Structure 1
Amino acid sequence: MDKPSAPSCERNRDPILEVLRTHFADRRQVLEIGSGTGQHAVYFSAAMPQLQWQCTDRAEYLPGIRQWLDEAALPNTPAPFVLDVGDAWPAERYDAVFSANTLHIMSWAEVERLFNHLARVTTDDAKLAIYGPFNYDGHYTSESNAAFDDWLQARGEHMRIRDAEAVDALAEAAGFDLVDDIAMPANNRLRIWQRTR
């Protein structure tokens, strides 16, 4: 199969990296949920070699991720493994979790399962970084996000841009407090939480 490529990863990787260099500076073990093509993993782990970057995704995405990891041959990217938020989660504990452009693809029940599992797979001071579009106070932040939401819902009724306040409530219930909320290109956000409870 051809190596998969997501142009959006090329466009957003540098702004995301700039934030992660600060928030993941003292981290060591990163669990990436929904690695997609694997492009982010390769770029971020090359730039931050102190991190052990663990890719995960549904089974059908793993061959493409492996192509990116094998080509890069980095020492800090172990083999990816299957993680479907509704099924079994790893037994290891991570001091950082990263996910990009996943919450609006999952159903809300899957988003809830993701947050419900976080306490069991993270250390007591873990950081959580989620990139993607968010609504605030029930409103779109741009016309392009409103159009994107229409496109999502045409693809699947369960897909939609999530309300920041609803996601914050899930994070808080899992023991994570919001510590940063950064504007990103193309009307996206990079939101960072830290586990405090």
Structure 2
Amino acid sequence: MPGDDGAVRKHAPATLRNREPIAEMLREELPVAGKVLEVASGSGEHCAFFAELFPGHFWQPTDPDPGALGSIASWCAGLGNVLPPLALDAASTHWPIDTADAVLCINMAHISPWEATLGLVAGAERLLVKGEPLILYGPWRREGVATAPSNEAFDASLRARDSRWGLRRVEDLDTAADARGFARTRLVEMPANNLMLVYRR
């Protein structure tokens, strides 16, 4: 639907199902105040929802897709604690932001090349001071834990669309994070066979 600024709003159906459980986790993991950088904001629905729930934080949405930036701006119009959306490719070494008090990334790792997740961790290393969180949400594989049949089917469909996509292993992310000085401080099973992963230095 068109927003007041003429942009076309995108809609991600999963947002309505997962935004409340994610928000509950954010209440426990975000700093008391500060700037939250959301990488790969997509439609912008999560950012708009969280910004209203956490008025003491400034939210910086980003996405590499110009169409997504318009959708984000439309969903977040009128929210005084949401900064204008920025174009950001997580895989790039040049991010248009220098500091953040938390980095949040929802449902990106499996629908992008692995280089984007590696870039996310590298970017978090540049932006976050010691103790501040890097938070990821989505479907992940774990060593020794059976993957739900629905996630297996999802993985197959992703790889059919792009061979560089697919569900990632938590252990591989742990290794990449360790190389940047981060350690996983939390793993929480979330609804619909997703995980919330939190890393800190």
TM-score range, shorter chain: over 0.9
Structure-2 residue corresponding to 1:119: 125
Q: Does 1:171 align with 2:177?
A: yes
Superposed counterparts of 1:102-117, under 5 Å: 102-117=108-123
Cα distance, 1:95 vs structure 2: 1.4
Cα distance, 1:139 vs structure 2: 5.8
- Give the percent of matched residue pairs that are identical in Structure 1 and Structure 2: 36
Cα distance, 1:60 vs structure 2: 3.1
Which residue of the other structure, out of 76, 84, 88, is the alignment partner of 2:81? 76
Q: Tell me if structure 1 keeps the 8 A contact 2:89–2:116.
A: no
Structure-1 residue corresponding to 2:193: 187
Q: Secondary structure at the match of 1:17?
A: helix
Gaps of 5+ in 2: 1-6
Residues of 1 paired with 2:160 and 2:97: CA distance?
37
Cα distance, 1:20 vs structure 2: 0.4
Structure-1 residue corresponding to 2:36: 30
- Normalising by structure 2, what TM-score? 0.91
Q: Secondary structure at the match of 1:104?
A: helix
Residues of 2 paired with 1:46 and 1:110: CA distance?
28
Residue-by-residue CA offset, 1:57-79 (whole Å, 9 max, x unaligned): 01331011111011xx1111010
**1:164 maps to amino acid:** V
Structure-1 residue corresponding to 2:69: 62
Residues of 2 paired with 1:57 and 1:138: CA distance?
34
**1:75 maps to amino acid:** G
The number of equivalent residue pairs is 193
Q: Tell me if structure 2 keeps the 8 A contact 1:90–1:121.
A: no
CA RMSD of aligned residues (A): 1.5
Q: Tell me if structure 2 keeps the 8 A contact 1:33–1:56.
A: yes
Cα distance, 1:176 vs structure 2: 1.4
Structure-2 residue corresponding to 1:10: 16
Cα distance, 1:47 vs structure 2: 0.4
**2:108 maps to amino acid:** T
Cα distance, 1:91 vs structure 2: 4.0
Q: Tell me if structure 1 keeps the 8 A contact 2:31–2:101.
A: no
Residues of 2 paired with 1:117 and 1:2: CA distance?
29
**1:158 maps to amino acid:** R
Q: Tell me if structure 2 keeps the 8 A contact 1:102–1:132.
A: yes
Structure-1 residue corresponding to 2:54: 48
Question: Quick one: structure 1 residues 147 and 3, their matched pair in 2 at CA, closer, same or farther if it must change by over 3 Å?
Answer: same
**1:85 maps to amino acid:** A
Q: Does 1:86 align with 2:88?
A: no
Question: Quick one: structure 1 residues 143 and 44, their matched pair in 2 at CA, closer, same or farther if it must change by over 3 Å?
Answer: same
Q: Secondary structure at the match of 1:9?
A: helix
- Normalising by structure 1, what TM-score? 0.93
Question: Quick one: structure 1 residues 18 and 113, their matched pair in 2 at CA, closer, same or farther if it must change by over 3 Å?
Answer: same
